[in-house]
Amino acid sequence: MAALLALFLFLSAAISAAALEGYSLIKLSSYLTPTSNSWVSHSGTFAFGFHNTEDGYIVCIFCAGFKERTVVWTANRENPIVPDNVVLLLTEDGLVLQRSDSHDIISRIDNSSQPIAGAEMHDNGNFVLYNSNHSVIWQSFDHPTDSLLPGQRLPPGGMLLSRASETDIKTGIFRLRMQYDANLVLYYVYGLDTAIDAYYSTNTYGHGNVTLNLENDGHLYLFDGFSVVLNLTTQGNHIIGTIYLARLDWDGILRLYSRSLQQEDSWKSIWSVTEDKCLPKGLCGINSYCTYKDEDADCRCLPGFGFAHEGEWSAGCTTNFRVDCRDTYLSRKYEMTSVRNVTWEDNYYSASRGLTEERCKQGCLDDCNCIVAFFKDGECRKQKLPLSYGKFSVNATDMAFVRKHFRGFTVAIFLTGSTGQRKGLTDLQKYVISGVLLGILGLLILSVTIYYTRRQRGWCNQGLDKFVLKHGSLAPKRYSYNEIKKITKSFSEKLGQGGYGVVYKGKLPDGQLVAVKVLKKTHDNAEEFVNEVASISRTSHVNIVNLLGFCYERNKKALVYEFMPNKSLDKFIYKSKSADPNCSLGWKKMYDIAVGVARGLEYLHRGCNTRIIHFDIKPQNILLDEDFCPKISDFGLAKLCMKKQSIISMLGTRGTIGYIAPEVFSRNFGVVSHKSDVYSYGIMLLRMAETRTTVETKSSQSSEHYFLEEIYEHVLVQNEKIHDLMTKEEEEVIRKMLMVGFWCTQTAPLDRPSMNSVVDMLQGNLQSIQVPPMPFLLSSPKPHFSCSLPLIVETHSSSYGLISHY
């Protein structure tokens, strides 16, 4: 009897234990080990516990009950692998990982600030921690990794990060962001979350706080709290026994999966943001492009390049190819190979129209700076390396010419894609070579890491690392403050002083002259600074000043630019103090400068995926190189904006009155946009033309406005001769500049031409330009638009002012 009773007690204890294990409420002091059972939800659909991956154990939530484990959430995503001898313990102070031998706490899973009373693995896949009032104090749904489950929402500011590969759970290179601007956007992670790095967007701007939601009928949609903003998938597919899962996959594509709870079933993708596997930017790293192999993506290197890391697409392709500009036999040593039907990120430094393919090719061959030239619709664009975001498209008519050593002499790095080369090596040789190379590489990386970690205390922002990763060795060079001191000989030769700092002359170790701008403001926002540096370094155009390097050390920030021996345009056009009476530019030079600046601005406004609005176009910011080629400088107010959204918030503005468009002061004049730059450019053009006109003004105390009004009346309307001694040619050019100048300064932004048409007008026929109406603001003198005192309006600008005023 006693034996029976004992058996009964034992059985019931076992049953209740089993029931408890299967049940979801988890009490304090409960624990898990890598080899023990997991905490399973009530119905057994989801479980919380350890999972053995190739690299070691991770703590995660996975779908229980299937043979293969589908991980839907991972703890400590940045560093998920845990040692084998750990215990996961639920304590009042947190859900912690302890070493099983020493009880040392390795890490904490949650970050709740309140004492914990219990936990529960819910049937929807949410793991929840409660306080003693049974209120939720932490839940896994608030910290998504790469997946979204029915009932889970991605709030404004929330994001999903892809995993590194199908099997590698660590973070990968793609990000889905539910932005505060109500837009759901997919980005390449190592970019800076600007339009240039985005490859998918719902374009749902202008709603309030929008969330991404998944329901248990597979309905994936954007919701603003009141109504559905966008249906990504349809609703009403609720099938009992079917579960859904939205995941940002390792290949950068957001997909919706479903499967039944049947053991033998598997996940099926029922929806994805795109069918184009090559769409995700950065899937193929720099100097490689994405093409299709059957339905799948396949990355290929540019001709003459090899994969930086075999099998790792995102690492891109490299070459040790260098073109020596002093070499006079350039064109004989190289040839151009062509890559057809591939589009790239537009980042050219020079563009010319009306060329044939052959002349484009030859032009690049003869230019030692040119590694690649793109040819499309008669336009030839020269680019430097690296090339980003290459993508094959059958419909693309783009043609890329790539410089290559003559007679097919290509240099492949390490054991690269060229299979012929690899066949010659035995496995042993391969191992030895890769061993040695890896060893050297390892040592290099180690020493570089040590060097940098030593030097960069206080430098804790990831931004720069990402930046360098993205831009590779072609990123502007980073200098230490000591190096900057050496370059400028302890700041001995001052070139000028601008709104944001002092500019010094300097000399790099290789003898190149530079201008170093030491920024005086100490914003402690590294990210902002990096953004600024990135936005300049991404621009590469003959008419835009070239950033060579920068310095960032706690409170010390400096930017290193190429040196411009002929200073800035204001020396040549003002009829005022800053003008040097001994300096005068011929009308031809003046015209070339006008066209050059227009081209540079056109490039900023339209040339690349991101629109940059300069906001501070004025003669002081137009620098002149030794050939008087104009270069736009000072991106102090550059704001990157999405193509679709060229309306900028003007929280911090600064500029010299006179060149600033009226809408920047008052919204009554219209919306601030790239047309505001057009206005500033117009004023500059008028000033430039003005220096060539010597129309005798009839009013003795003539103000600028009367002067412009008179020019307008006499020259444009009555078609009087500007100056008796002027040649016909000069007269025509000056007239053109005046016409365009008056067009650009129209009061309403919409009436002003785009920079694109400005370039066309300046280069086209004078007869084809209509006489513009007299700009209202220029016709009547208004004291606050007076130009005699270049007044600096400086508010809480969040930008770093870059080089200017010297």
Ligand X SMILES: *[C@@H]1O[C@H](CO)[C@@H](O)[C@H](O)[C@H]1NC(C)=O
Q: How far is the CB of 395 from ligand X (least distance, A)?
A: 8
Q: How far apart are CA 186 and CA 199, in angstroms?
A: 6
Residue closer to ligand X by CB (options 236, 509) is 236
> Which single residue is written with the structure tokens 């790539």?
402
Span from 227-235, 658-666, 670-678, 707-715 in contact with ligand X (CB under 6 A): 227-235
Alpha-carbon distance of 753 to 755, in angstroms, equals 6
Sign, Cα dihedral of 344, 347, 348, 351: positive
Contact status: 228 vs ligand X (CB under 6 A): yes
Per rule CB under 6 A, is residue 235 in the interface with ligand X? yes
Among 35, 102, 113, 767, which residue interacts with ligand X (rule: CB under 6 A)? 113
Is the CB of 340 or the CB of 667 nearer to ligand X? 340
Nearer to ligand X, 215 or 713 (CB): 215
Binding residue for ligand X, selected from 52, 234, 555, 795, defined by CB under 6 A = 234
| Structure tokens given for 591 | 């015209």
CB of 393 to ligand X, least distance (A): 8
Cβ atoms of 541 and 534 within 8 Å: the answer is no
Provide the b/e sequence for 724-761 (b: ≥16 CB within 10 Å): eebeeebbebbbbbbbbbbbbbbbebeebbebebbbbb
| C-beta closer to ligand X: residue 135 or 234 | 234
- 101 catalytic? Reply is no
Of the pair 42, 143, the CB lying nearest ligand X is at 143
Burial class (CB in 10 A: 0-12, 13-18, 19+), 8: exposed
Which residue, 338 or 584, is less far from ligand X as judged by CB? 338
Residue 238 lies near ligand X (rule: CB under 6 A): no
Q: Rounded CA gap, 722 and 708, in Å?
A: 13
* Segment lying near ligand X (by CB under 6 A), choices 225-233, 441-449, 479-487, 571-579: 225-233
Of these, 22, 115, 206, 208, which contacts ligand X (CB under 6 A)? 208
SS (H, E, C) 525-561: CHHHHHHHHHHHHCCCCCCECCEEEEEEECCEEEEEE
Nearer to ligand X by C-beta: 226 or 329? 226
Asked if 116 contacts 94 with a C-beta cutoff of 8 angstroms, the reply is yes
- Asked if 18 touches ligand X (CB under 6 A), the answer is no
Pairing of strands 127-130, 136-139: antiparallel
**79 touches ligand X by CB under 6 A:** no
- The minimum distance between CB 529 and ligand X, in angstroms, equals 24
**Per-residue b/e over 204-241, b at no fewer than 16 CB within 10 Å?**
beebeebbbbbbeebbbbbbbeeeebbebbeeeeeeee
In the complex with ligand X, which residue's Cβ is closer, 109 or 761? 109
Name the minimum Å distance from CB 388 to ligand X.
21
7 contributes a contact to ligand X by CB under 6 A: no
Q: Which helix (H) or strand (E) holds 433?
A: helix 427-455
| By the rule CB under 6 A, 582 interacts with ligand X | no
C-alpha–C-alpha distance, residues 395 and 406, integer Å: 30
Contact 221, 228 (CB under 8 A): yes
How many residues are recorded in the chain? Answer: 806
Q: Are 269 and 233 in contact (CB under 8 A)?
A: no
Regarding 341 and contact with ligand X (CB under 6 A), the answer is yes
Asked if residue 450 binds ligand X (CB under 6 A), the reply is: no
DSSP string, 1-34: -HHHHHHHHHHHHHHHHHHHHHS-EEETT-EE-T
Q: Which of residues 392-411 bind ligand X (CB under 6 A)?
A: 394, 397
Rg (CA), the chain: 32
Q: Could you give the CA distance from residue 376 to residue 513 in angstroms, rounded to a whole number?
A: 36
How far is the C-alpha of 474 from the C-alpha of 533, rounded, in Å?
Answer: 13
Rounded least distance, CB 201 to ligand X, Å: 16
- Phi/psi for 805 (5° steps) reads 50, 55
Q: How far is the CB of 19 from ligand X (least distance, A)?
A: 34
**Region binding ligand X by CB under 6 A among candidate stretches 224-232, 256-264, 423-431, 595-603:** 224-232
Q: Nearest residue to ligand X, using CB? A: 208
Q: How far is the CB of 143 from ligand X (least distance, A)?
A: 5
375-394 positions binding ligand X, by CB under 6 A: 394
Would you count residue 369 as binding ligand X (CB under 6 A)? no
Given the complex with ligand X, which of 143 and 485 has the nearer CB atom?
143
Q: Total number of residues binding ligand X (CB under 6 A)?
A: 14
Residues 119-178 that bind ligand X (CB under 6 A): 143
Contact by Cβ (8 Å): 252, 280: yes
Give the nearest distance from C-beta 286 to ligand X in angstroms.
23
Distance of closest approach, residue 181 Cβ to ligand X, in angstroms = 11
Nearer of residues 397 and 795 to ligand X, judged by Cβ: 397
CA distance 628 to 565: 9
Q: If binding is defined by CB under 6 A, does position 111 make contact with ligand X?
A: yes
Of the residues 616, 625, 627, 760, only one is catalytic, namely 616
Q: Please, which residue, 397 or 453, has the CB nearer to ligand X? A: 397
Of 226-234, 285-293, 535-543, 731-739, which segment contacts ligand X by CB under 6 A? Answer: 226-234
Is 114 in contact with 127 (CB distance < 8 Å)?
A: no
| Range 769-798, binding ligand X (CB under 6 A) | none
Q: How far is the CB of 234 from ligand X (least distance, A)?
A: 5
The piece of 71-79, 229-237, 241-249, 490-498 that touches ligand X (CB under 6 A) is: 229-237
750 forms part of the interface with ligand X (CB under 6 A):
no
Tell me whether strands 242-248 and 254-260 are parallel, antiparallel or unpaired: antiparallel
CB neighbour list of residue 455: distance below 8 Å, 6 or more residues apart = 480
Interacting residue with ligand X among 37, 231, 352, 356 (CB under 6 A): 231
Q: Which of 37, 209, 462, 780 binds ligand X (CB under 6 A)?
A: 209
Stretch that binds ligand X, among 61-69, 230-238, 267-275, 494-502 (CB under 6 A): 230-238
Determine, following the binding rule CB under 6 A, whether residue 52 of this chain makes contact with ligand X.
no
Residue 133 CB contacts under 8 Å (≥ 6 apart), including other chains: none
Tell me: does residue 340 bind ligand X (CB under 6 A): yes
Evaluate whether 134 touches 120 at the Cβ level (below 8 Å).
no
Shortest Cβ distance from residue 57 to ligand X (Å)? 22
Which residue stretch of 223-231, 272-280, 561-569, 766-774 sits at the interface with ligand X (rule: CB under 6 A)? 223-231
Q: Smallest gap, in angstroms, from Cβ of residue 352 to ligand X? A: 19
Pick the closer one to ligand X by CB: 231 or 369. 231
Strand order through the sheet with 211-214: 153-154, 211-214, 220-223, 228-231
Restricting to residues 684-713, name those near ligand X by CB under 6 A. none
Report the C-alpha gap between 354 and 379 in whole angstroms.
6
Write the burial class of residue 695 (CB in 10 Å: 0-12 exposed, 13-18 middle, 19+ buried).
middle
Q: How far apart are CA 188 and CA 173, in angstroms?
A: 6
Closest CB 476 distance from ligand X, rounded Å: 33
Nearest-angstrom CA–CA distance, 30 and 23: 13
Nearer to ligand X, 234 or 421 (CB): 234
Residues that bind ligand X (CB under 6 A): 111, 113, 143, 208-209, 228, 230-231, 234-235, 340-341, 394, 397
Active site members: 616
